[in-house]
Amino acid sequence: MAFELPKLPYAYDALEPNIDARTMEIHYTKHHAGYTNNLNNAIKGTDLEGKSIEDILTNLDMSNAAVRNNGGGFYNHSLYWEVMNPEGKGRLSGPLKDAIESTYGTVDTFKDAFAKAAATRFGSGWAWLCVHKGGKVEICSTPNQDNPLMPDVSCGGTPILGIDVWEHAYYLNYQNRRPDYINAFFNVINWNEVERRYDAAK
């Protein structure tokens, strides 16, 4: 079966003023839709057809640029929409908070480190919070549409929180002020979903 663009879990304007409706609409209907279509074209008629996106990415031939870029783009954006919420669902708590404090000392120190990873990613890419088997968490960043599931990426583990720092994610509203966009992202994190992903992955 071909991959389908997942349904956006809220309206385009639901994250305002943190992320504006026009950016959301373009990001979802043009960029994410484009990655989805191009991924389907790249795997059509190959042995990758019918496999899950996680299986494709964890066993990826990194020289296959079409699958690497579009498979990453499909997966990354699917996670990105899910870990945001207009209602600010949940507060960071429980085992995930404990894991973050075990690694980073305090939640504020974690936020500073995550923001730095996103702000200092040169060019286009993503910053991630990942979980390793056993529950240890790690912050890292990747270029372009790479993600921690892929082989030969600088950080491993399962991504449970990700922020898109490609300019198309923020430029209409924030122009070159990437740090302002990153700070706004913290206002819309769906911690319930991040915690669900942590529990499933650890």
- The answer on whether 168 is annotated among ligand-binding residues is yes
- Residue 106 is predicted with a pLDDT of 96
CATH fold of 20-202, please?
minor pseudopilin epsh fold (3.55.40)
The mean pLDDT of 14-21, rounded to a whole number, is 96
pLDDT tens, residue by residue, 45-84:
999 999 999 999 999 999 999 999 999 999 999 999 999 9
Q: What is the Cα–Cα distance from 4 to 27, expressed in whole angstroms?
A: 16
- The answer on whether 164 is annotated among ligand-binding residues is yes
Identify which of 21, 202, 11 has the alpha carbon closest to the alpha carbon of residue 94.
202
Name the band, by pLDDT with cuts 50, 70 and 90, for residue 152.
confident
- Residue 1 is predicted with a pLDDT of 65
- The answer on whether 31 is annotated among ligand-binding residues is no
Residue 14 CB-density burial (10 A; 0-12 exposed, 13-18 middle, 19+ buried):
middle
- The answer on whether 199 is annotated among ligand-binding residues is no
pLDDT tens, residue by residue, 94-140:
999 999 999 999 999 999 999 999 999 999 999 999 999 999 999 99
